[in-house]
């Protein structure tokens, strides 16, 4: 089983809202990732968690706040977003960070109004 699940599939939020994206994997992977993808572009790395600790933050604005409650779950908390933050947000996992292939979830399509 190489499944990464993400909820919700679609999300529309206003600029003053607070919302969260959720990601789950049950492959025993110890590294989890958040990516942002704009239309017809490759994914851009946002955050990396390794063994439940934040190991990489790619200078992401503080209105995006990641959280890793346990080794299977990854959240992305959203607050005071801008319309330009509208994108597909992808979660991925791998056995270890920096080694092995990454498996991606289906993504959350976020629209900020």
Partner 1 sequence: GNSVTQMEGPVTLSEEAFLTINCTYTATGYPSLFWYVQYPGEGLQLLLKATKADDKGSNKGFEATYRKETTSFHLEKGSVQVSDSAVYFCALRPLGGKLIFGQGTELSVKP
Q: How far is the CB of 80 from partner 1 (least distance, A)?
A: 26
Conformational region of residue 100, where left means phi above 0, alpha means psi within -120 to 50, and beta covers everything else: left
In the complex, the smallest distance separating the C-beta of residue 67 from partner 1, rounded to whole angstroms, is 21
Site residues (vs partner 1, CB under 8 A):
2, 4, 6, 40-43, 45, 48, 56, 88, 90, 92, 98-99, 101-107
Q: How far apart are alpha carbons 43 and 38 in whole angstroms?
A: 7
Q: Pick the closer one to partner 1 by CB: 58 or 82.
A: 58
Q: Which is nearer to partner 1, 61 or 98 (CB)?
A: 98
Shortest separation between residue 102's beta carbon and partner 1, angstroms? 6
Residues 6 or more apart in contact with residue 59 via CB below 8 angstroms: none
Q: Tell me the three state secondary structure of residue 113.
A: coil
Residue 67 has which token pair?
A: 């959280």
What is the nearest approach in angstroms of partner 1 to the Cβ of residue 62? Answer: 21
Comparing CB distances to partner 1, the nearer of 56 and 80 is 56
Question: Between 66 and 107, whose beta carbon lies closer to partner 1?
Answer: 107
- Residue of 31, 39, 34 whose CA lies nearest to 61: 34
Instruction: Give the HSE-up count for residue 112: Cα atoms under 13 Å, Cβ half-sphere.
Output: 18
């Amino acid at each position: 089983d190489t499944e990464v699940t993400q909820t919700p599939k679609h999300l529309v939020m206003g600029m003053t809202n607070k919302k969260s994206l959720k990601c789950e994997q049950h492959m025993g992977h110890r590294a989890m990732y958040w990516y942002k993808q704009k239309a017809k572009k490759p994914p851009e790395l946002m955050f990396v968690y390794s063994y439940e600790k934040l190991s990489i933050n790619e200078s992401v604005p503080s209105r995006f706040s990641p959280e890793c409650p346990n080794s299977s779950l990854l959240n992305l908390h959203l607050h005071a977003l801008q319309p330009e933050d509208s994108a597909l947000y992808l979660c991925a996992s791998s056995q270890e960070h920096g080694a092995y292939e990454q498996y991606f979830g289906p993504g959350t399509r976020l629209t900020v109004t």
